[in-house]
Copies of this chain bind each other. A is one copy, B any other.
Amino acid sequence: MIGAAILAGTFAEGEFLDEAVLAREVGTSRTPVREALHRLQAERFVDLVPRRGAQVRVVTATEMRQIYQARFVIEANAIGKICDRRLGAPPEAPELIEALETAGRNQDWNEFAQLDQRFHSCIVQHQGNAVLAQMYDSLRPRQVRLAVRTITQGPERFPTIEREHRELEAALNAHDASLSTRILNVHLQEVPELVRAFSE
């Protein structure tokens, strides 16, 4: 529900969310709000503490680093398998890269972040393991909130991202696992470094 969207940036970390207030704002009753909050807990947006309610989770720099490590573990594995089986880059890759560059030129950062995610997600899916793909995608919501912060602070990074996507596609098509992994490693290490730069 829209609850997720609302949470993306509008509530303070650590804040307790009042079901009745949310219900009034959304124009519905408490029941759907409760269900939305439970979904948000599953997505690690909030902690549901008994008899107290839903507390907006603080995403620490440590957790963010761990999320990117997790991404690397899953995506590097996918890349390895893709190169082993000589599958080449995913068929959707070219158009996603194209769209990403368009979004970059238009400075549409929302679209940019979404396309970036879809690019990486389709690589993981290309491996053919739905369980791993679903796990990978489940990391997304937690990255979104961060994305809002990073985008506003470091837009000069975008050309780099675009270039690395193209390089990764080429490396996959060349079935070069070691090169692909190196590119991915650099690509995924930039963001945590940016985060650390903010928070320290």
Q: Which residues of A contact B (CB under 8 A)?
A: 34-35, 38-39, 42, 63, 66-67, 69-70, 73-74, 77, 129-132, 135, 138-139
Q: Which 7 A-B pairs have the closest CB atoms?
A: A42-B42, A66-B131, A66-B129, A73-B77, A70-B131, A70-B132, A67-B131
- B69, A132: Cβ atoms under 8 Å? yes
CB pairs A–B below 8 angstroms (9 shown): A39-B42, A63-B131, A66-B130, A66-B131, A66-B132, A69-B131, A69-B132, A70-B135, A135-B135
Count the copies. Answer: 2
Cβ contact within 8 Å between B70 and A129? yes
Question: In the bound complex, what is the Cα–Cα distance between A73 and B136 (angstroms)?
Answer: 12
A30 to chain B, nearest CB (A): 11
Residues of B within 8 Å of A138, CB to CB, are 135
B-chain residues with CB within 8 Å of residue A42 when the two chains form the complex = 39, 42
The 8 Å CB contact of A131, one of B34, B39, B77, B139, is B139
- A67–B133 CA distance with the chains assembled, in angstroms: 11
Task: Among A35, A131, A138, find the residue whose CB has the most chain B CB atoms closer than 10 A.
Answer: A131
Chain B residues near A77 (CB, 8 Å)?
Answer: 73
Residue picked from A69, A138, A139, most chain B C-beta under 10 Å: A69
A131–B39 CA distance with the chains assembled, in angstroms = 18
Chain B residue numbers with a CB within 8 Å of A66 are 129-132
